Structure 1
């Protein structure tokens, strides 16, 4: 039996800002109950129209949602803004030859007006008929004729203002957005691994510590572009709340986002790319007062930005909105976490962000605790990139079980120095961890330096290991200013207390690679959990 060689993928880490943006976007999504209700109402309307014995039964080819429902970018209404769904009644191409644009619109109106349920709920709009329900939810129905018999994606739709046909392609647009937002397989796998690591999702539930691992992830894994569109639409709703007539349409924002997307894995970088893309388009305009053109990528005959030519104040408002988003994104670049959180509160609302920050802290605590508990149970594994896993991984060390942090600073009796032992230790570190660590020799002392980030919820720590053959290694954190305390198992010298000496006798043959380095990773997780709970939860012997 032959196995395919495993492709090595560069690791990707889901940043804290992306984690929080994911949570914000998830909180903006319509709840399942609302989506189900919208789906039921849409299906009822579609069924009614398709069975209309006078007109639509004979000409309807298909009926399907368009807009945010079709491309998975729905957001909840902001404050009292209404929630809606758009769908298309796709008519045979011949209907467009037999009937005028205004006749098609009138047939749609008359069909709904004949029904006792819908007749008091409908109103005419420019390209559609709106059905408004008692709870404020509404559905916009657009009837369009296929432009020709060969192309299912291009429609001509009636326009009440001009009284003629206009070009459209809602199905083609949805397919374009799906293709643009879909990551290449390898990139999606990198994102999925980062998502799983961040949220502590294990692919093999049968072998995990089920009572400790969080079973329900706090947010769905979606394309960064889908998330970016949700976030930028909510920022639009907030920015234009007092001037809704000037608000940039969702289709323009979504199209610009799609045109700008370069398969980034980060939501933050995706929105940063949208800002840069708009800056670039505006910069290319020789006449800065002339609006940029935003065309339908699925049908270049349709310009979504036509209104900007007729109403230049809409274009001016759009540019001001982009400047607002740009300023916000600059604030989110702050290295200070408190400043970043304040920027989020200003943008998305204090109560929403506070709830998300509390949820973030709770989930982080649960995830880190599950890792600490796995270590306490002797069920932790360290990978070659120094990640702690709660299930057996290919090319990993099983962390030494039945070990405690703690005890007095234990110095072994001086033993005979054997130079080859230092080289032996260096060899095993390099063999397993590759270039993760650098080593040098100063006199009799082997100095090992490197960076460890044992879990996506942990910060990255720079460490320094000092070792003399036969002696217990001394480990120091060099990247963080941590006050030495017995309760976090750090001696006054700053050295870490990684094991209780009676648990293990350190000899010439005890490896730093499979003992010390995994223990440092465990200490980092336990320390970060301590910062959240003020309690050392790993197995310990008190100092």
Structure 2
């Protein structure tokens, strides 16, 4: 039994694009995790509005925000399948409500009394939200927002209180407006969808059965996403890897998403999109540096909602991220413009995206190349490196590839903690 793969199309997929597709697939939050996130979301929302809760009858509406709302959620830790969920809890309180009191009430509403549903879970009261951590490491952040009377639809204020820094204030926001604006601007690509399906079949058709390592985003499959949206996910993964072990805040996901909207005309190439978004962010930071100021990014659907109010803390923070972006683009252009040494390729992918997705994508790629090379579709150097340019002879439109084909790559690499 085999899988039918369009080898003509497979031969036209840029090798680096193919590898980036494989990595993107590894970091997706699949349908099962979306369902779990929805269960967590519904359970928490019902819990904070329960009878005798400090917020009983005071919850107007709750909705997912952040990455889940724009289909850009990724695993924060791939091997552990951990991810984060952001929830806006619209509360029926005046916008002048004391931030400290508001956050304390939400914490009490979530934590509950001893023996209640969430009492034994890790519940933390942060400066803008209350975070619930589940046993599998998944976190849900609940942010209370009071609607702005007479303001634009769904606009409101969030409550900020940080006792250690002696900070207390309210900030105008409109996460719903950004979600609607972003989703209206980012459209899917039929070309990218076709390339991704072909790439997925090529990889899956040659892998042994390891379903648990093949998370597919069935809620919004990659092939239904814009290459720019997938590039945003890859850039977030890159950011997460670079900032592990660093002090200070990292660039918020919403800043990356907002800036990506202004990164020029969209293309069907995932590599081109990743370079375009990273380069645009780099240039915006350099423009701010020339003016001796911090970069400012506002909600395009509600300019009073400034996304960069806490990052960058100072200009050194934005220069650090700018240098990360320069290195990312340099590595991508290096891989695109020359033959690959396998060890160099693996090292770069690990540096950019972490060991687990990089190693698995590396294996997928060379399994696929091994199958295609048997059909004389690849230019192979004497050293064994695969040329970036694929020269495909005239072939039929399809070929049956065995689902358990033998390869030259051996077994699976042991998963490191990632």
TM beyond 0.5: yes
Would the alpha carbon gap of residues 285 and 89 (structure 1) be closer, same or farther in structure 2, given more than 3 Å must change?
closer
Query: Is the aligned partner of 1:164 residue 2:169?
Result: yes
Residues 247/349 of structure 1: CA separation in 2 closer, same or farther (3 Å cut):
same
Partner of 1:87: 87
The answer to whether the Cα contact below 8 Å between 1:23 and 1:218 also exists between their aligned partners in 2 is no
CA contact (8 A) 2:26 2:215 kept: no
Unaligned runs of 5+ in 1: 1-11, 202-210, 373-456, 463-519, 527-531, 535-543
- Give me the whole-angstrom Cα distance separating, in 2, the residues matched to 1:309 and 1:191: 34
Distance in 2 (alpha carbons) for counterparts of 1:461 and 1:82: 40
Q: 1:90 to 1:362 in 2, by over 3 A?
A: same
Q: Which residue of 2 aligns with 1:331?
A: 334
The answer to whether the 8 Å contact 1:200/1:367 transfers is: no
The aligned counterpart of 2:385 is none
Indicate yes or no: 2:180 matched with 1:175.
yes
Q: How does 1:285-434 map to 2 (within 5 A)?
A: 285=288, 287-308=290-311, 310-338=313-341, 340=345, 342-349=347-354, 352-363=357-368
**What TM-score comes out, normalization by structure 1 length?**
0.57
- SS at structure 2 position matched to 1:336: coil
Alignment partner, residue 94 of structure 2: 96
In structure 2, the partner of 1:65 is: 64
Deviates more, 1:118-127 or 1:77-86: 77-86
Rounded to whole Å, the distance in 1 between the matches of 2:309 and 2:155 is: 19
SS of alignment partner, residue 302 of structure 1? strand
**Cα pair distance change 1:111/1:521, threshold 3 Å:** closer
Of the three residues 112, 115, 139, the one matched with 1:114 is 112
Q: Which of 382, 391, 413 lines up with 1:460 in the alignment? A: 391
What is the aligned partner in structure 1 of residue 415 from structure 2?
none
Deviation at 1:150, TM superposition (A): 6.5
Deviation at 1:269, TM superposition (A): 0.9
Give the direction of change, closer, same or farther, for the CA distance of 1:39–1:97 in structure 2 (3 Å limit).
Answer: closer
Shift of the 285–521 alpha-carbon distance from structure 1 to 2, 3 Å rule, reads: same
Root-mean-square deviation (CA, aligned residues, Å) is: 3.9
Cα 1:52–1:164, aligned 2, differ >3 Å: closer, same or farther? farther
Q: Distance in 1 between matches of 2:270 and 2:40?
A: 32
> How far did 1:156 drift?
0.9
Q: Deviation string for 1:149-193 (max 9, x for gaps)? A: 56433121111144332111221222222122224xxxx233334
Residue by residue over 1:332-367, the C-alpha shift from the partner in whole angstroms, topping out at 9 and shown as x without a partner, is 223313355553244334564343233234456678
Aligned counterpart for 2:226 among listed residues 215, 223, 228:
223
In the alignment, is the contact (CA less than 8 A) between 1:248 and 1:314 conserved in 2?
no
1:152 aligned partner: 153
Partner Cα separation in structure 1 for residue 281 and residue 356 of structure 2: 31
Write the distance in 2 (CA, Å) between the matches of 1:45 and 1:173.
Answer: 24
Q: Is the 8 A contact 2:130 2:142 kept in 1?
A: yes
Aligned-partner SS, 2:327: helix
Q: Distance in 1 between the 2:215 and 2:40 partners?
A: 28
Between the aligned partners of 2:356 and 2:106, the Cα distance in structure 1 is 44
* Structure exhibiting the larger radius of gyration computed from Cα positions: 1
**Which is bigger in relative contact order (C-alpha 8 A, separation at least 6)?**
2
Cα distance in 2 between the residues matched to 1:18 and 1:350? 19
Q: Are 1:133 and 2:64 an aligned pair?
A: no
CA distance in structure 1 between the partners assigned to 2:281 and 2:96 by the alignment: 42
Instruction: Report if the CA contact (8 A) 1:261-1:270 is conserved.
Output: no
CA distance in 1 between partners of 2:391 and 2:398 (Å) = 9
Residues 64 and 309 from structure 1, CA distance in 2 versus in 1: closer, same or farther, beyond 3 angstroms? closer
Hey, what's the Cα distance between the residues in 1 that align with 2:390 and 2:185?
A: 33
| TM-score of the two chains, using structure 2 as the length reference | 0.72
2:261 and 2:228 mapped to 1: Cα distance? 7
Kindly state the Cα deviation for residue 316 of structure 1 after the two structures are TM-superposed. 2.7
CA contact (8 A) 1:177 1:258 kept: yes
Q: Name the CA shift for 1:233/1:523 in 2 (closer, same or farther; >3 Å).
A: closer
Contact 2:284–2:295 under 8 Å retained in 1: yes
Structure 1 distance, partners of 2:110, 2:197, is 48
